[in-house]
Amino acid sequence: MPNSTFTPFPILTTQRLTLRQLASTDEQEIFRLRSDSEINKYLNRQIANSIDDARNFINMVIANSNKKDSLYWAITFTDKNILIGTICLFGFSAENETCEIGYELLTNFQGQGIMREALEKVIDYAFNTIAVQKIEAFFHRDNQGSIKLLKKFQFRDSNLADKTNPDLLCYYLTNPIDNLK
Ligand SMILES: CC(C)(COP(=O)(O)OP(=O)(O)OC[C@H]1O[C@@H](n2cnc3c(N)ncnc32)[C@H](O)[C@@H]1OP(=O)(O)O)[C@@H](O)C(=O)NCCC(=O)NCCS
């Protein structure tokens, strides 16, 4: 990400949540997220089999964050510094014009509007602080939880199926400020 303004790491807050940088102390919760079959049902990724896998993943995220390749937030309740989910901006284009978004929540915290609250803040940060013009989200066509969430924010279907995986849909949201130009 060609932007040096992300040091220090941007901590974001909402009514209930604090979004902070991932830390090595999050390994148990990262393991739960990345080993839970329900959470991983529609995600095309390597399942974590051990705490070591979670630890390696955290190290990779921290290394990418240092290279400014991505912004990966741990979602916590402000009054309890324990990771309950993650949200991430990654795949930034050369001038930060576009990026991708990804998110996940431990199952016992779903259905409480938590991701909606986190997503609203991260979209605002992407558009108003980084000045991204378009955010893209790729997800499995059967991932109703994700579709519902994205539609709440007026993400639109790009109608571009991934050539390598036709089950993967791409929704996008454009920066309303740029649309006024
Ligand atoms: C996608 C995912 C994050 C959505 O989580 P979620 O908890 O359903 O999302 P939300 O934060 O939007 O919560 C919505 C529900 O919370 C409920 N809710 C409770 N209190 C609420 C509040 N204060 N505000 C809003 N909604 C609230 C609502 O009933 C709402 O459900 P509804 O839209 O059917 O009415 C979750 O399904 C997940 O982690 N999936 C696995 C990982 C994944 O697939 N990630 C996507 C990869 S691209």
User: pTM for the full model?
Assistant: 0.94
Position 181 scores a pLDDT of: 47
The identity of residue 19, as a single letter, is L
pLDDT (tens, 9 = 90+) of the chain, 181 residues, equals 445 457 789 999 999 999 999 999 999 999 999 999 999 999 988 899 999 999 999 999 999 888 878 999 999 999 999 999 999 999 999 888 999 999 999 999 999 999 999 999 999 999 999 999 999 999 999 999 999 999 999 999 998 777 788 899 999 999 998 554 4
So what CATH class is 4-179? alpha beta
Rounded to the nearest angstrom, the distance between the alpha carbon of 167 and the centre of ligand 1 is: 21
Q: Is 87 in the pocket of ligand 1 (CB under 6 A)?
A: no
DSSP for 123-152, please give it: HHHIIIII--SEEEEEEETT-HHHHHHHHH
Q: Is the dihedral of CA 62, 134, 117, 29 positive or negative?
A: negative
Rounded to the nearest angstrom, the distance between the alpha carbon of 115 and the centre of ligand 1 is: 6
